[in-house]
Amino acid sequence: MKLTRKHSKSKEEVREALDSIAGDMQKKFGIGHKWEGETLRFNGNLVSGYIANSGDEITVDLKKSFFLPVPESTLKGWVEEYFNKYLG
């Protein structure tokens, strides 16, 4: 699943927001994460993928494990909630 959203935050604000999102994902799903430039990569047993910041746009590419018992539409809703909470 791939989602993109425009934003008007600075590079530092986006990085801070993505760190907060990664912390939430670690608590909720036990996901590890690391930065590669302006891309936050994450990997866990239930979901993996990346969140990339390219100027005024955030792209999330999320891969759901077969073992995560929620539909893709629910995951999309969670991503949208994170966007709204952390990026406005």
Q: Where in the chain are the domains? A: 2-87
Task: Specify the pLDDT at position 2.
Answer: 93
Is the CATH number 3.40.50 carried by domain 2-87? no
Distance CA 9, CA 49 (A): 22
Does the global pTM surpass 0.85? no
Task: Give the amino acid at 9.
Answer: K
What pLDDT is stored for residue 22 in this prediction?
86
Q: Is 62 helix (H, G, I), strand (E, B) or coil?
A: strand
Q: Which helix (H) or strand (E) holds 19?
A: helix 11-29
Residues facing 34 on adjacent strands: 41
The one-digit pLDDT tens for each residue of the chain (88 residues) are 899 999 898 989 999 988 888 888 888 778 889 999 999 999 888 888 999 998 889 999 988 877 777 888 888 888 888 888 888 7
Beta strands 39-43 and 57-64, pairing class: unpaired
